[in-house]
Structure 1
Amino acid sequence: MFLQLANEYLNKNLSGRYVTNSHIENELSLLNSNFKISIEGKSVQDKNIYSVQFGTGKIKIFMWSQMHGNESTTTKGLLDFFNFLNSDDELVLKIKEKYTLLCIPILNPDGAEAYTRVNANEIDLNRDAFNITQPESKLLRELYLSFNPDYCYNLHDQRTIFGTEGTKLPATMSFLAPSYNVECDFNETRFKAIKIINMINKELQLVIPNQIGRFDDAFNINCIGDYFTSQGTPTILFEAGHYANDYQRDEVRKFVFISLISSLLGVSRETNFDSEIKEYLIIPQNIKNYFDFIYKNVKIIKNSEEKLINFAAQYKEVLVNGKIDFVAEITQIDNLENSYGHVEYDCEGMFFSSSYGNLPKKQEKADFYLNNLLKYSNGLLIL
């Protein structure tokens, strides 16, 4: 049911990886009177930071997206969710009566426009939670204190390098109930976040089985989720990752939508502390075991000897004229035994050659030939 809603309410005015204030402002203006749209403050470069409030219920949820400016998938999923809440679907009334949602669609509008992880002062806002040196961090803290939420949702993207431990599948969605201390103990605050993650996981397994990961819970008080959890607020980290052939992440956004709606409408079972923790820990660990491309059994001549090697390439995301270009660069040569590629080629012992020589080199573009016949351009075999 939730996937059907995700398809039905997908905001067709938003697509691709580049999402800025200019992309969302008109969409926010179209929301009905059940929404309260506010300008909460300004970024380093004086851009508006918007909030969207919905609902009148007792359970208060504070959520924010694009803390890292180049992580836009959850913003699209959030705007899709607003599109749903803007409808007359009978489920909307249930959410409105049970919850009060306060959402920041783009916390880092300067980073979003420049398509960078950091803000305009080159500070990672997710490492500024304790010191709060930046205007965006101060605004987030002020809203947290004034709203006094029952739950926080920290919405992010993760790179294509992550898979789920014990499988050969990418980590399409990953979650974390952050730690509150360096021992990574479980308490009632984490327990509440874990119950919601387990509900979300149950729904996602129906559409992307075995592609849900559990993020590393090493404690860092400078990270916003760890800080809020240490203050007694259950906080959930959402990480939108890779799905097959979806580098624009216009499919993954649907799984963000499902995650959001199932967290509010999912059926919570009456279970005890230990069983919920056990179920959470069964979710596979999120691990770095993927490349965008792996080329196997490539023949080279080195020191006058023929040998077979494997090498990998990764897309570098480059902002060009308001769009994101994906530029494939060689990033790893050999030592790929426990790695997978989103695209893999068996090169069957054919000789490597390129404009810069007959050996693949790190940081060079993945443009090359095999046996001087097969052409690979930007990582892909050109047929």
Structure 2
Amino acid sequence: MVSFESVKAKAITDRYVVWEDVQLFLEHTPVKIKSTLVGRSVQGRPIELWTLGKGPIKILMWSQMHGNESTTTKATMDFVNFLLGTSPLAETIKVSCTFQIIPMLNPDGAVAYTRVNANGVDLNRDAQALTQPESGILRKVYDTFGPDYCFNLHDQRTIFNVGETSLPATVSFLAPAHDEARTVSKTRALSMKLVVAMNRELQALIPGQVGRYDDAFNPNCVGDTFQMLHTPTVLFEAGHFPGDYAREHTRKYIWHALLSGVKAIAYGELSGYTQEAYHNIPENGKRFVDILIQNIAVLNTDYKKDEAMGVLFKEVLQDRKIVFEPHVEKIGKLDQYYGHERYNCLNDKDLTLLRANMKLMKLL
């Protein structure tokens, strides 16, 4: 079995990933990848399409359509490294499948570390109007390739928990709806079964840390649009793993998801999964803050007894690095919230640690 560490693109790390990083990866692959310039961004940066494999099953993947969502781009590089290998599994997949991959759809947003493109447009809300060059490029690739499956690769915020639990949603999935009634067509059922196959793999690695997104229909979203066009599509969301703000652990689990999903497709295993099992994956909640500080009245009597402070990080680009700046998100009882990091001001040890953290003390 191929290990993640053996295929990890080690030169691409942390959260700030731009086109030059992807290009450097491409230049140093041991096997030349077929790369085609399919267009340019608003600011003229290249958008390239990679083609791998020679099989009859066509799979289209795209990453970083939101410029500040880079984890799946890293995982895509890791997956490409796997495909370039000669393991029996890689060889079987390449004989069964042809992949077209847009590793970075929004290179301008990646440079600015913003969700939107250089015109301030969310590309994942532009699937119908196609007002932006990047949106048109993706749609043209889709129409030309005619994929059998689509993988829509994203990051999600640290706020998400799984169901009613205190576990973070490290990976989340969605089989997008194709109509307002959220009916289950043949192709949407395949999307659900594909998610179930990937969830089965991940539960062995991060039990309880896989969530499911709400499937409210939005035809302006790319996944919903492609589902409307009868292509099984899955939304991938790379989330938080404890202590992993660089999302280096999360990229590993996205890689496992990609590999297990593609394997299930290549080996014709999807019929062995049920769409009912998709609905058994807990839906995401929004009950996390990055830092939860309880009993804050101990440090500041302006607050009421038993009140807590919920702190979220703002991701700020500084000198090509992402800096996590804390800001106050909520103040109140907050009994229903969890913290990735927690302090209780009634605990002497926590109080000592908190007082040593000048950024947090300024918030109090």
> For the structure 1 residues 376 and 32, does the alpha-carbon distance in structure 2 shift closer, same or farther, using more than 3 Å as the test?
closer
Residue 376 of structure 1 aligns to which amino acid in structure 2? N
Q: CA deviation at 1:301?
A: 2.3
Give yes or no for the alignment of 1:374 onto 2:355: yes
SS at match of 1:252: helix
Equivalent residue for 1:195?
A: 193
Equivalent residue for 2:275?
A: 277
SS at match of 2:161: strand
The aligned runs of 1:239-278 (5 Å cut-off) are: 239-266=237-264, 268=269, 270-271=271-272, 276-278=274-276
Q: CA deviation at 1:140?
A: 0.4
> For the structure 1 residues 55 and 372, does the alpha-carbon distance in structure 2 shift closer, same or farther, using more than 3 Å as the test?
closer
RMSD: 2.1
CA distance in structure 2 between the aligned counterparts of 1:325 and 1:97, rounded to whole angstroms: 43
Equivalent residue for 1:210?
A: 208
SS at match of 2:220: coil
CA distance in structure 2 between the aligned counterparts of 1:112 and 1:372, rounded to whole angstroms: 35
Check the 8 A contact 2:68/2:109 in 1, yes or no. Answer: yes
- The one-character-per-residue Cα deviations of 1:345-365 (angstroms, maximum 9, x if unpaired) are 111188xxxxxxxxxxxxxxx
SS at match of 1:13: coil
Residue 90 of structure 2 aligns to which amino acid in structure 1? V
Equivalent residue for 1:309?
A: 307
Q: CA deviation at 1:33?
A: 4.8
CA distance in structure 1 between the aligned counterparts of 2:33 and 2:90, rounded to whole angstroms: 12
Equivalent residue for 1:348?
A: 346
Equivalent residue for 1:57?
A: 55
CA distance in structure 1 between the aligned counterparts of 2:91 and 2:261, rounded to whole angstroms: 16
CA distance in structure 2 between the aligned counterparts of 1:51 and 1:61, rounded to whole angstroms: 13
The range that moved more, 7-16 or 369-378, is 369-378
> For the structure 1 residues 270 and 125, does the alpha-carbon distance in structure 2 shift closer, same or farther, using more than 3 Å as the test?
closer
> For the structure 1 residues 306 and 202, does the alpha-carbon distance in structure 2 shift closer, same or farther, using more than 3 Å as the test?
closer
Determine which of 99, 113, 116 is the counterpart of 2:114. 116
Equivalent residue for 1:83?
A: 81
Q: CA deviation at 1:212?
A: 0.3
Give aligned-pair identity as a percent: 44
> For the structure 1 residues 372 and 253, does the alpha-carbon distance in structure 2 shift closer, same or farther, using more than 3 Å as the test?
closer
Check the 8 A contact 2:164/2:285 in 1, yes or no. Answer: no
Q: CA deviation at 1:311?
A: 0.7
Determine which of 36, 39, 52 is the counterpart of 2:37. 39
Equivalent residue for 1:286?
A: 284
SS at match of 1:292: strand
CA distance in structure 2 between the aligned counterparts of 1:166 and 1:112, rounded to whole angstroms: 34
The aligned runs of 1:119-198 (5 Å cut-off) are: 119-198=117-196
Unaligned runs of 5+ in 1: 351-368
Give yes or no for the alignment of 1:101 onto 2:82: no
Q: CA deviation at 1:325?
A: 0.6
> For the structure 1 residues 296 and 44, does the alpha-carbon distance in structure 2 shift closer, same or farther, using more than 3 Å as the test?
same
CA distance in structure 2 between the aligned counterparts of 1:8 and 1:371, rounded to whole angstroms: 42
Per the normalisation by structure 2, the TM-score is: 0.93
> For the structure 1 residues 234 and 270, does the alpha-carbon distance in structure 2 shift closer, same or farther, using more than 3 Å as the test?
closer
CA distance in structure 2 between the aligned counterparts of 1:52 and 1:269, rounded to whole angstroms: 26
CA distance in structure 2 between the aligned counterparts of 1:188 and 1:217, rounded to whole angstroms: 16
Per the normalisation by structure 1, the TM-score is: 0.89
> For the structure 1 residues 244 and 349, does the alpha-carbon distance in structure 2 shift closer, same or farther, using more than 3 Å as the test?
closer
- The one-character-per-residue Cα deviations of 1:232-291 (angstroms, maximum 9, x if unpaired) are 1110000000001100001100011101110111462644xxx71210000010111100
Higher helix share: 2
Determine which of 297, 300, 319 is the counterpart of 1:321. 319
Unaligned runs of 5+ in 2: none
CA distance in structure 1 between the aligned counterparts of 2:124 and 2:280, rounded to whole angstroms: 27
SS at match of 2:164: coil
> For the structure 1 residues 50 and 379, does the alpha-carbon distance in structure 2 shift closer, same or farther, using more than 3 Å as the test?
farther
Determine which of 62, 65, 68 is the counterpart of 1:67. 65
CA distance in structure 2 between the aligned counterparts of 1:380 and 1:265, rounded to whole angstroms: 50
Q: CA deviation at 1:134?
A: 0.1
Pair member with larger Rg: 1
Q: CA deviation at 1:35?
A: 2.6
Equivalent residue for 1:354?
A: none
The range that moved more, 95-104 or 84-93, is 84-93
- The one-character-per-residue Cα deviations of 1:67-115 (angstroms, maximum 9, x if unpaired) are 0000000000000111111222222111110000000000000000000
SS at match of 1:27: helix
Residue 285 of structure 2 aligns to which amino acid in structure 1? I
Check the 8 A contact 2:343/2:354 in 1, yes or no. Answer: no
Check the 8 A contact 1:56/1:96 in 2, yes or no. Answer: yes
Equivalent residue for 2:21?
A: 23
CA distance in structure 2 between the aligned counterparts of 1:335 and 1:308, rounded to whole angstroms: 6
CA distance in structure 2 between the aligned counterparts of 1:5 and 1:131, rounded to whole angstroms: 42
CA distance in structure 1 between the aligned counterparts of 2:270 and 2:139, rounded to whole angstroms: 32
